[in-house]
Structure 1
Amino acid sequence: MKSWKEENGEIFLWGEETKEAVPVIWCHIFSREEGEKIWGQITEPCVLAGVSGRDWNRDFSPWRAEKVFAKSTDFSGGAGEYLLYFENDILPRIEQALSFEVRDRGIAGYSMAGLFAVYAMYHSDKFNRIGTMSGSLWFDGWEDYAVSHTIKAINPVIYVSLGRREHKVRNVRMASVKACTERLAAYWEKSWPVIRESEPGGHFDDPEGRVARGISRLLAFGRP
């Protein structure tokens, strides 16, 4: 595993020693420990690139919106600005450490990072495997945006998972996550392959396992 210190966090590469041209999956995480747990449960060959230290309410929100938790901060809508930095600076700088040219790249994430993964699908052509695990697809206005804009990703495969109890919360906005997720998955699969998975539990149950399972299924898709 290699790592790079950033101003506000750290970037990690797991599996970077391979000489084989395997897919590279980018995933925004909270910590190295979380990334290690995800990497340890992925069952298919790949390189896992983990980015920690980002401001999730700023960097992963497509536009401004009120916070959902009293002790949290408002969403400030920085996804567009961060995506430009992510794909034009972080990706080429980190991937040059690999011994092969990256031709197969994915992006996956949990919660707000899962929303950012599908946001990237609409605004970047650099990722063809998209994973939103327990993604914040309830985010104000996101569903309307997604069905009225064109996906920029080229021939994407999309993985969507959600806990079976995630919609059973008091917050009205977050409680819409099941309906929003199901409608968006149905909309996307009219044009692209969509892998759907229903997980046991609520939003905070087994996030690392859910991410690893989603990445593994994306990697295995289309194999005989």
Structure 2
Amino acid sequence: MIKRNDGISKDDICQNQFTSYVVLAVKRKRQSYIKKKQREHEKETRTKKEAEQSEFRTAGYDMWSRMEPQNEKLMAAMQQLSLKERFNPILNILIVTRGIIHVYTITARMLCRCNASAAKNFRGSASSAILILWCAGIIMQRKGIVIFMDNQLLQIQNRTCRIYGTASAEYLLLQMVDEHDLAGMEREVEAIRQQTAQPFLLAAVQVKNWNDDLSPWPAPPVWGKQDFGGRAGDTLAWLEQAVPGIRRQYSIKEDCKVVLGGYSLAGLFALWAATQNDALYGVAAASPSVWFPGWPEYEAAHPIQAQRVYLSLGDREEHTKNQPMAAVGDNIRALHTALIRRGTACTLEWNAGGHFKDADLRTARAFAWVMEGKQ
């Protein structure tokens, strides 16, 4: 024990200096010891973290490598599925979801937001859930459980189709459209759903040249400078080839009721297509261009063969200074009378306004009437 002194004598001064050196040495030794322990702790923590990350990478690699044979079996099973099952919209969504989960867990590992075991368990559980849902999607498709679609793109050869409605539907609705019609398709589909409880699948097929692709035969211009190319035969041939593929892909039975419809020249195309064969159950012709040169004479010689025909016209459409188009009122009345006389279920509805008013809603009423089966 160090005794206190006055610090005056030479011995007291030496003793005090020695004491100061001892205290300073002890303090430095203690600080050195603390820093050493801190470095050892940091090194131990860093080593443990690296080992944990290495274990996570190894575990993740092993998990996915073990799943490779399962994925190969899965792909082999997909090859055995029919076309309609392989392109099940639910399956496509699940495959994308599985990929998103995989990317998410990798990101979580990189950001160190979860430990190795938790992330591994999450990814394993999520992958298992996706595989289970994938199998459930196949079962739903095979059992014909309803699948809703809105604005799903479908490319068939050189044409783009937009699919709306319900898979495994009883009615297959076909409509030739242009860019203007596409803008109102969602409102049209919603209006159809509000007016009928019948399950339907609507395929909106976009045409490249409206006047050429939908006109049944060549004709001179009625307005403007563009004439009519008369390529409706080619359009109908393409449609006949496309319908079986649409049926298979969306689980629609071969004996489903096919309804072809459209607005304006597309409505005339639907009426003309019904004169070529009896494959169509119904025609939904909203404000059809029955003013087209030679149409009344052609239909009289080649009667429409569909079971149900909906006709409509705006009450101002026939009041035009364009002489060829002014005949639309008389021609549609004559067509309606002829169809009723032949025993075809047919109606003629007059809408308020001209030709370009509420085209989407008028077309929706046309399709709904054909499906509802009312006179």
* TM-score normalised by length of structure 1: 0.90
- Tell me, yes or no, if structure 1 residue 212 matches structure 2 residue 364: yes
Match of residue 340, structure 2, among 189, 196, 199: 189
- The CA deviation at 1:5 is 3.3
Deviations 1:44-85 (A, max 9, x none): 2211111113322111111111112225x1001111122112
Dislocated runs of 4+, deviation >3 Å: 5-9, 150-153
Kindly report which structure 2 residues correspond to 1:122-141, keeping only aligned pairs within 5 A, or say none: 122-141=275-294
Give the conservation status (yes or no) of the 8 Å contact 1:29–1:35: no
Match of residue 249, structure 2, among 84, 91, 97: 97
Letter of the structure 2 residue corresponding to residue 62 of structure 1: P
- Tell me, yes or no, if structure 1 residue 33 matches structure 2 residue 194: no
Over the aligned positions, Cα root-mean-square deviation in angstroms equals: 1.8
Segments of structure 2 that go 5 or more residues without pairing to the other structure are 1-149
Higher relative contact order (CA 8 A, sep 6+): 1
More strand by share: 1
- The CA deviation at 1:126 is 1.9
More helix by share: 2
Q: Which secondary structure state, in structure 1, belongs to the residue aligned with residue 259 of structure 2?
A: strand
Give the conservation status (yes or no) of the 8 Å contact 2:272–2:304: no
Letter of the structure 2 residue corresponding to residue 30 of structure 1: D
Kindly report which structure 2 residues correspond to 1:97-176, keeping only aligned pairs within 5 A, or say none: 97-102=249-254, 103-153=256-306, 156-176=307-327
In 1: Cα distance, 2:207 partner to 2:302 partner: 30
Q: Which secondary structure state, in structure 2, belongs to the residue aligned with residue 47 of structure 1?
A: strand
Identity of aligned residues (%): 31
In 2: Cα distance, 1:222 partner to 1:166 partner: 26
Letter of the structure 1 residue corresponding to residue 161 of structure 2: I
Counterpart for residue 60 of structure 1: 214
Letter of the structure 1 residue corresponding to residue 178 of structure 2: F
Letter of the structure 1 residue corresponding to residue 209 of structure 2: D
Deviations 1:10-42 (A, max 9, x none): 20111134x4x4211111122433221210110
- The CA deviation at 1:222 is 4.4
- Tell me, yes or no, if structure 1 residue 23 matches structure 2 residue 177: no
Distance 1:65 1:135, change over 3 A: same
- The CA deviation at 1:150 is 3.5
Counterpart for residue 83 of structure 1: 236
Larger of the two Rg values belongs to structure: 2
* TM-score normalised by length of structure 2: 0.55
Counterpart for residue 13 of structure 2: none
In 1: Cα distance, 2:288 partner to 2:160 partner: 23
